[in-house]
C-alpha cells in the first residue's frame, strides 16, 4: 500500500492539505478503496445497495493516518451498551473527531447475546460512525452508500436467500455449480459471482449475456 496516499509528502499529511489538494488525494484514495473493499468483502449488500462494514472504514482511517480510540463504554440498566470512540491523528495524537453508538438489548439480534458481544458491537458501531461523520464523503466517492452496515436496521438487512444473491457460501456453491455445468471457466464464473451481488436470480441471464 503506497504511503504516499496517506501522507502525500513526507512533511504534510492528508489532513493538512488545502481543499484542492485534499480533493485530488481523496479521489485517488477512493479509487483504491473501491477495489480494496470489494476484494476483501468489506461491504454488505442490503436491499441491493452496498454498505461498508467497519473493516472498510478502518481501512480508510489507515490511509488517512487517523486511528480510532475507545473513550468510554457504559452499560445501561437494561443491559444495553453505549460506546464513545474518538478519532485520533496517528502522527500527533490529537483528537479530530468521534461519535457514540448504542447496541440495544431491545434489538432482536442482540436480545439474547452475551454482554461482551453487545459491548463489542456498540464499539464497532461507534467506530464506523465516527469515520462516517468525518470522512463519509470519501466512501461516497468510492461509490458506496454513506452509512455503516452495522448501523442499518435489522428489519432491513434480513433478506430471503432466493430474493437476492449476497455471496453467502451456500449461494456461491449453488451458482458456481450451475455455471460450471453451463461451461463457464473459473475466470468467467468469478465475474458472474461478482456482478450478481445484490441482484435477484432473474437477473442471472442478463449478467451471463453481458459477459459473452
CB of 127 within 8 A of CB of 54?
Answer: yes
Q: pLDDT tens, 63-109?
A: 999 999 999 999 999 999 999 999 999 999 999 999 999 999 999 88
Closest by Cα among 132, 131, 145, 33 to 25? 33
What residues pair up with 84 in beta bridges, in sequence order?
72, 100
Alpha helices per DSSP H over the chain = 4-7, 19-39, 54-64, 115-141, 154-157, 169-181, 186-196, 204-210
For every one of its 212 residues, what pLDDT tens digit does the chain have, with 9 covering 90 and above? 333 333 333 456 888 888 888 888 999 999 999 999 999 999 998 878 899 999 999 999 999 999 999 999 999 999 999 999 999 999 999 999 999 999 999 998 898 999 999 999 999 999 999 999 999 999 999 999 999 999 887 544 444 445 688 888 888 888 888 888 888 888 889 998 988 888 888 788 888 888 77
Number of Cβ within a 10 Å radius of residue 169: 7
∠ Cα 153 145 204 (to 5°): 90
- pTM for this model (two decimals): 0.67
Q: What is the pLDDT of residue 157?
A: 43
pLDDT, tens digit, for every residue of 154-167? Answer: 544 444 445 688 88
Give 93-100 contacts, CB < 8 A, sequence gap 24+.
Answer: 95/69, 96/15, 96/66, 96/134, 97/66, 97/130, 97/133, 97/134, 98/71, 98/130, 99/126, 99/129, 99/130, 99/132, 99/133, 100/126, 100/129
Amino acid at each position: 500500500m503506497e504511503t504516499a496516499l496517506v501522507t502525500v509528502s513526507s512533511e504534510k499529511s492528508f489532513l493538512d492539505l488545502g481543499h484542492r489538494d485534499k480533493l485530488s488525494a481523496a479521489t485517488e484514495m477512493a479509487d483504491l478503496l473501491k477495489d480494496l473493499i470489494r476484494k476483501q468483502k468489506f461491504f454488505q449488500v442490503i436491499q441491493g445497495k452496498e454498505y461498508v462494514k467497519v473493516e472498510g472504514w478502518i481501512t480508510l482511517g489507515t490511509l488517512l493516518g487517523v486511528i480510532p480510540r475507545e473513550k468510554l463504554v457504559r452499560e445501561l440498566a437494561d443491559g444495553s451498551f453505549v460506546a464513545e470512540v474518538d478519532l485520533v491523528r496517528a502522527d500527533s495524537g490529537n483528537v479530530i473527531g468521534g461519535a457514540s453508538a448504542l447496541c440495544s438489548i431491545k434489538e432482536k439480534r442482540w436480545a439474547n447475546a452475551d454482554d461482551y458481544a453487545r459491548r463489542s458491537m456498540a464499539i464497532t458501531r461507534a467506530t464506523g460512525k465516527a469515520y462516517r461523520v468525518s470522512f463519509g464523503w470519501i466512501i461516497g466517492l468510492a461509490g458506496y452508500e454513506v452509512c455503516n452496515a452495522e448501523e442499518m436496521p435489522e428489519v432491513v438487512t434480513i433478506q430471503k436467500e432466493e430474493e437476492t444473491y449476497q455471496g453467502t457460501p451456500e449461494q456461491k456453491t449453488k451458482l458456481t455449480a450451475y455455471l460450471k455445468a453451463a461451461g463457464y471457466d473459473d475466470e468467467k464464473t468469478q465475474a458472474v459471482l461478482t456482478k450478481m451481488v445484490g441482484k435477484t436470480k432473474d437477473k442471472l441471464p442478463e449478467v451471463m449475456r453481458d459477459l459473452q
